[in-house]
Amino acid sequence: MDNQWGNIMDDIGAGRTHPDVQKFKPTALRMAKAARHRGPDWSGNFIANNTILAHERLSIVGVDTGAQPLVNDDGSLALAVNGEIYNHRLLRKHLNYPYNFKTHSDCEVIIPLYMEHGLDAPKYLDGMFSWVLYDKKADRTVAARDPIGITSFYQGWSSKTPGTVYFASELKCLHPVCDNIKWFPPGHIYDSKTDTMTRYFQPRWWDPLKFPSTPIDYKLIRTSLEKSVRKRLMAEVPYGVLLSGGLDSSLVASIAQRETLRPRSASARKVNGLSDHEQQSSEELVGIDDDDELSTVTWLPQLHSFSIGLPNSPDTKAALEVAKFLGTKHHNFSFTIEDGLDAISDVIFHLETYDVTTVRASTPMFLLSRKIKAMGVKMVLSGEGSDEIFGGYLYFHAAPDKESFHAETVHRIKNLHLSDCLRANKSTAAWGVEARVPFLDKEFVENAMSIDPAEKIITKDRIEKYILRKAFDTTNEPDTKPYLPDNILWRQKEQFSDGVGYGWIDALKDNAELHVTNEQMKQPKAEWGDDIPDSKEAYWYRTMFDELFPPQCASTVMRWTPTWSKQTDPSGR
C-alpha cells in the first residue's frame, strides 16, 4: 500500500447514454466549464460507449496527483468526484481484494469499494462527496451524494435526448441542455441499470416520529466533535477557520487550534514514512495511521482565522476576542453596505437560490471567501449544522414539547442541502475555496441526534444549545485549558445575518423598496405558481434569479421559514 495519499475537490459533470457522445463532447466541456470557478486547477474528461465524464479540479491534498476522472487499470471503471473521503486510508487497508492504486487521491478508494460492494459502496464512506462512476463492462452509471448533502449536486434530463441522464455540481452547468432539473437527494445512490434512486443512508434519527431517549453524555459530545475537526485538517495547502465570534465557529476554531499546537506523535510521523529528522523539515498530512487512529498534522505553523462584518459589528468584536484568546493569526475584514448590495446579483448567480435568508447570510461569506482566496488559502473550516442539530435558532424557544422540538431538528437537518450547506459550499466554491463542516460529521450527528430531546429544550434556566456549551465548559476541570472565554461560550445567538452588522438586513429591505413597487407585489408572475414572494425583498431576489436562470431551475429552490412563529421576516427578528 502506498504510504501517501491525496485528495481533490472540484466540479463534476456527466452525461449518460447520449445518442452521439463524440458530437456532444464540446457541449459537455462547455457545461463543465460553467463551474470552473469551483475547480480552477485542472480539467479532465473520459468517454466510453455513450457516456462522458467531465471534471474541473481544485487540488487540496495530493496536489501533484489525483487528476480526474480517475480510471482503474483496465479502463473499465471511471470516476469523477467532488469531495473529501476522510477514512480513505482505513478503507484502503481493509479492502478484500488487492487493487492497484494509480494516485494518492483519497477519492480513488471509491473504485475498489464499488468493485467489492456495488451499490453499497457509499455506506462505507466517511466524508462529503458527490460522485459519478461509469462501469464500462456493465454499461452502467452510478451516482451518489453524501448523507447530508454538504457538496452540491443536481440531476437533469432533456426532452431532446430521451433516456439521457445528466449530473453536475451546479445548475448553471445543466440548464443550457436540460429542461428538467432536480437536486440529487442527500444520502441516496442512483443506478442507471434500473433508473432508480435508493436511500443508502439510514440512521436511527431519520424517522422524526421515533424519539431518541439516550441520556446526555457531555464527554461524548466533546470527544466526537474534536475527532470530527481532526479529520478535516487534511490538506497540503494553506487552510484556516471561519470565525464569526458565535459559539459554533468559535468551538471549531478552538479545537483546530488545539490540534495545531498539539505535539506530533511518533505514529503521526510513521504515517508518512518520515524519520524524526525528516519530519522537522517536511509537512505532514492527516489521515488514519497504522493503528487505525486519526493523526493530525498541519501545513502552516500558525492557524489562520477569518472574519467579516460591517464596521463595529457584533460578530467582528466577538471574533477578535476569540482569536486573541486562542492565539490564531486573525484576519478581520470589513465590508460596506454598498459592497454587499453590489454583490447581490453575483451571490444569486453562484448560490443558485432566491431564498431570503440564504442570500442575506451568503453575501458576507461570499465577500470573505474572495479575500481568503486572494491570500492563497484554499480550505476553511466552518460551523454550519449546529443550530439544526441542537435547536439553536431562537424560534426553537417556542417549541411546544420535546417531540415537536426533535421533529423540527430532523426536518432542518434533512433540508440543510437547500440552505446552510448550499450557502457554505457555493459561497466559498465561487472563489475556488473549499468549506468543511465538522458539525455535520456522520458520527457526530448520530451521537447528538440520539440524545433525549428533553435535554435540548430551551427553558428559563437553559439558553439555546445548552448541552453543547456545557460539553465544552471546563469550569470543574482545573487541569484542562478552557476552550473559550465564558462570555463567548455562553453568548446568545444573533438573529440571521444580524451578527455582521445590524444595518445589513435593513439596507436590503430598503433597497428592495426601490426596486419593487406595490403594484408588482399585487401581480406576481403567473409562472411562479404558488411560490409567491411574501415581501419586496423576496420579490427582488426572485426577479434577479429569473434573469439569471430559466424557469426549470426554480424547482430546486426551497424558501426557509421558521416554525411556531408569526414573524413575517424569515430571520425571526
Residue type, 249: S
Strand partners, 82: 130
DSSP secondary structure code for residue 185 in this structure: P
State the DSSP string of 462-511.
B-TTHHHHHHT--TT-TTS--SS-HHHHTPPPPPTTGGG-THHHHHHHHH
Please name the residues in contact with 79: beta carbons below 8 A apart, sequence gap of 6 or more: 53, 68, 69, 70, 71, 107, 108, 110, 111, 131, 132, 133, 134
**Sequential DSSP letters for 47-88:** EETTEEEEEEEEEEESTTS--SSEE-TTS-EEEEEEEEETTH
242 is in an annotated binding site: yes
Q: Is 254 annotated as a binding residue?
A: no
Question: Does 450 carry a binding-site annotation?
Answer: no
10 Å CB burial of residue 292 (0-12, 13-18, 19+) is exposed
| CA pair distance 230, 24, nearest whole angstrom | 43
For residue 463, say whether it is annotated as part of any ligand binding site.
no
Q: Which residues contact 511 (CB under 8 A, 6 or more apart)?
A: 341, 540
Which burial class, exposed, middle or buried, applies to 143 when counting CB atoms under 10 A from its CB (0-12, 13-18, 19+)?
buried
Residues 46 and 23: their CA atoms lie apart, in Å, by 14
For the chain, how are helix, strand and coil distributed in percent, rounded to 5? 40, 20, 40
Position 532: which residue type?
A: I
339 known ligand binder: no
Task: Say which amino acid occupies 434.
Answer: E
Rounded distance, CA 297 to CA 549, Å? 43
Position 324, amino acid: K
Closest-CA residue to 540 (of 526, 557, 524, 556): 524
Q: Which of 193, 198, 153 is nearest to 174 (CA)?
A: 153
Q: For cell 431576489, name the residue.
A: 541
> Which parts are annotated binding residues for ATP?
242, 308, 382-383
> Which parts are annotated binding residues?
106, 242, 308, 382-383
> Which parts are annotated binding residues for L-glutamine?
106
